[in-house]
Amino acid sequence: MQIFEAIWEIVDKKSSAYFDLSDRVWETPEINYEEFRSSAEHLRLLEAEGFKTERNIAGIPTAVMGEAGEDGPVIAVLGEYDALPGLSQEAGVAEQRPVVAGGHGHGCGHNLLGAGSMLAAAAVKDYLAKNGLKGRVRYYGCPAEEGGSSKGFMVRAGVFDDVDIAISWHPAAFSGVNNPISLACSEMNFHFSGRASHAAATPHLGRSALDAVELMNVGVNFLREHMPTTARIHYAITDAGGSAPNVVQAHATVRYLVRARTLPELLSLVARVKRVAEGAAWMTETTMRQEIISGDANLVGNEPLEECMHAQLERLGPPAFDEADRSTARKFQATFTPEDIASSYSRFNLKPKKDEPLCDRIVPLYAGDESMVGSTDVGSVSWVVPTVQMRGATYAIGTPGHSWQLVAQGKLPAAHKGMAHAAKIMAGTAIDLIRNPALVEAAKAEHKERLDGNPFVNPIPDDVMPPILPVPAALDAAE
C-alpha cells in the first residue's frame, strides 16, 4: 500500500504545473498535424522535468518524446493534444458560446489526455530516481488522433519497437478500465475522372465522374446487407464535380471510412468496396483512383495488464469530486437530453442512479456494450506492444462526445481532479510493472498468444505519408 500512496503523493505535488499545461493547450486548440504550440508546450515541460527529449518523432514535427531512467523495462505512457474543428467554446459556461466563430475546440478532452499522461510519466520518473529502481519511462506526445492516425505512422517508423508495455487513458464520464474493443478502420478517397461536355447539346460525348460516385454509393449501400453486422461504412462526397448542372462532371471524389471488428476483416471489406468502385468506373466509362489516407488497427486487449490497472482503481477509488463540482455538472446535465444521459450508462451496462452528475464509482472490469464502439489509433500500437487503457471521469455523466459541452468542461476543477486521478492510476500501474518483472512477462506472453497466426498488417500502406505541415516561421523563431 505504501508504494502506491507514495506515487499518488508525487502526482499531487506535481499536478498544478500539469493543470496549467492542460489549460494552455485548451486555450490554443490545434487540429490534426497543426499542433505546433501544443507540442512545444509539452516539450518545454518535458525539458523542465529533466527528461531526455526528442522531437520530430517518425518525421512528424508535432510528435515529441521524453525518456527517463536506466535499464529495466521500457514503459511508454501515450498522450494526445489535438482538438476538433468547429467546436470553439467559452470555458465553464453551460451555454453554447463560441470564443471564435468557426474556431477549433477541445471536444474530446485531449488537453487533459496529454497533460495527464505526462504527469503520470513524470511521477514514475521521480519515483524511480528516489527509490533507485531500474526501469525506463517514456512519454510519447502523439498528435492527430482525430482521423490522423499518427500512432499508426509512429508504429510504422518503429518508434515503439523497444517498448515493453504501453499505457494510456481517455477522459470520460466514468472511471474504469476500457473494454479493449475498437474497430479497425481505413479512410480513403475514390477519385473518378471522366470527360466534360455540354449536358444538353452533346451529352453523349460526356462521361460523368459524378455518376460514378453515385453508382458507387448505391453499390456500397447494397453491399451493407452482406457484410458483418459489426462493420461500418460511412462516406462523404468531397468533390461533386462543380456547381453547374449543364456541364457533365469530369471529376468527382467520394471519401470512404470503412470499419470492421478485426484487421483481417477490414482488409477484406476494403477490397470489396474497391471492387464496387471499379464497377462504377466500368459502368460510366470513367477511371478510378483509390487513395488511402489513414487507418487504425483494432485494439488488442491484455488481461494481465487490465487486471493490474483495475486493481489500481479499486485501491484508489473514484475521483474525489465535491459538491461544487457536482453542482456545476448538474448545470451541464440540464443541457443534455434524457437519451444522452441514458446512453452514458448503457454503454457500460450500468444502472442509472438518481442525481449522479459526476461519476462516484469504479466501473466493473469489462462492463460494456460491445456494439457501441469507434476506432482509435492506439489500436495500431496495441498490435506491436501489450497495451492497457483506462477511462477517467472528468466531465458530467451524459456529456455527448465531440460537443460544445465537453469543450466547456475542459478547464473545470472536476476536469483537473479527474486528470490527476487518471495520472495516479497510470503511474501506479507502471510502478507495479517495473517492480514485478513476472507481470511484464505474463503480459507479453498473453499478447503473443492473442496475435498467434495474425501478423500485424499496418492499415496505412508504406507509400502513404502523414499530411504534415511546415513549422510556422513565427513559432520556429520563437523556439
CA nearest 92: which of 447, 412, 416, 473?
A: 412
CA distance 17 to 45: 8
CA nearest 21: which of 415, 430, 473?
A: 415
Nearer of residues 111 and 458 to Zn ion, judged by Cβ: 111
Nearer of residues 288 and 390 to Zn ion, judged by Cβ: 390
State which of residues 11, 31, 108, 443 lies at the interface with Zn ion (CB under 5 A). Answer: 108
Question: Which ranges of 224-317 does DSSP label H, i.e. alpha helix?
Answer: 263-284, 303-316
Site size for Zn ion, by CB under 5 A? 1
H/E stretch holding 300 reads: none
Sign of CA dihedral 82, 86, 87, 89: positive
- Write down the least CB distance from residue 110 to Zn ion, Å: 6
Quick one: cell of 113?
489526455
Using DSSP, state whether 405 is helix, strand or coil: helix
- Report the largest interatomic distance among the alpha carbons of the chain, rounded to a whole angstrom: 85
Q: Is 87 in the site for Zn ion (CB under 5 A)?
A: no
CA nearest 468: which of 34, 161, 145, 168?
A: 34
Stretch that binds Zn ion, among 84-92, 108-116, 204-212, 217-225 (CB under 5 A): 108-116
- Write down the least CB distance from residue 401 to Zn ion, Å: 8
**Residue 247 CB neighbours (<10 A):** 15
Nearer of residues 359 and 442 to Zn ion, judged by Cβ: 359
Stretch that binds Zn ion, among 104-112, 245-253, 291-299, 431-439 (CB under 5 A): 104-112
Stretch that binds Zn ion, among 53-61, 106-114, 409-417, 454-462 (CB under 5 A): 106-114
Q: Name the residue whose CB lies closest to Zn ion.
A: 108
CA distance 314 to 304: 15
- Write down the least CB distance from residue 281 to Zn ion, Å: 36
Stretch that binds Zn ion, among 101-109, 347-355, 411-419, 436-444 (CB under 5 A): 101-109
> Which residues, 189 to 228, sit near Zn ion by CB under 5 A?
none
Nearer of residues 208 and 387 to Zn ion, judged by Cβ: 387
> Which residues, 403 to 432, sit near Zn ion by CB under 5 A?
none
Sign of CA dihedral 107, 111, 116, 121: positive
Crossing angle (nearest 10°) for helices 110-131 and 36-48 = 20
- Write down the least CB distance from residue 184 to Zn ion, Å: 17
CA nearest 37: which of 120, 122, 104, 101?
A: 104
DSSP β-bridge partners for residue 188: 256, 292
Specify whether the CB–CB gap between 53 and 43 falls below 8 A. yes
Crossing angle (nearest 10°) for helices 110-131 and 2-27 = 140
- Write down the least CB distance from residue 21 to Zn ion, Å: 17
CA–CA distances in Å: residue 90 to residues 95, 330, 396, 477: 9, 18, 17, 30
Nearer of residues 112 and 137 to Zn ion, judged by Cβ: 112
- Write down the least CB distance from residue 105 to Zn ion, Å: 13
- Write down the least CB distance from residue 106 to Zn ion, Å: 10
CA distance 253 to 460: 20
> Which residues, 245 to 274, sit near Zn ion by CB under 5 A?
none
- Write down the least CB distance from residue 378 to Zn ion, Å: 10
- Write down the least CB distance from residue 211 to Zn ion, Å: 38
The backbone torsions φ and ψ at residue 166, rounded to the nearest 5 degrees and listed phi first, read -115, 140
**Residue 98 CB neighbours (<10 A):** 15
Nearer of residues 65 and 108 to Zn ion, judged by Cβ: 108
Stretch that binds Zn ion, among 4-12, 107-115, 147-155, 467-475 (CB under 5 A): 107-115
Stretch that binds Zn ion, among 105-113, 238-246, 276-284, 318-326 (CB under 5 A): 105-113
Specify whether the CB–CB gap between 115 and 25 falls below 8 A. yes
Nearer of residues 142 and 248 to Zn ion, judged by Cβ: 142
- Write down the least CB distance from residue 108 to Zn ion, Å: 3
Nearer of residues 182 and 186 to Zn ion, judged by Cβ: 182
Per-residue x/- mask for Zn ion, residues 441 to 460, rule CB under 5 A?
A: --------------------
Stretch that binds Zn ion, among 49-57, 103-111, 292-300, 468-476 (CB under 5 A): 103-111
Specify whether the CB–CB gap between 312 and 432 falls below 8 A. yes
- Write down the least CB distance from residue 397 to Zn ion, Å: 18
Nearer of residues 172 and 431 to Zn ion, judged by Cβ: 172
Nearer of residues 212 and 390 to Zn ion, judged by Cβ: 390
Nearer of residues 73 and 116 to Zn ion, judged by Cβ: 116
**Residue 188 CB neighbours (<10 A):** 20
- Using CB under 5 A, list all residues that contact Zn ion: 108
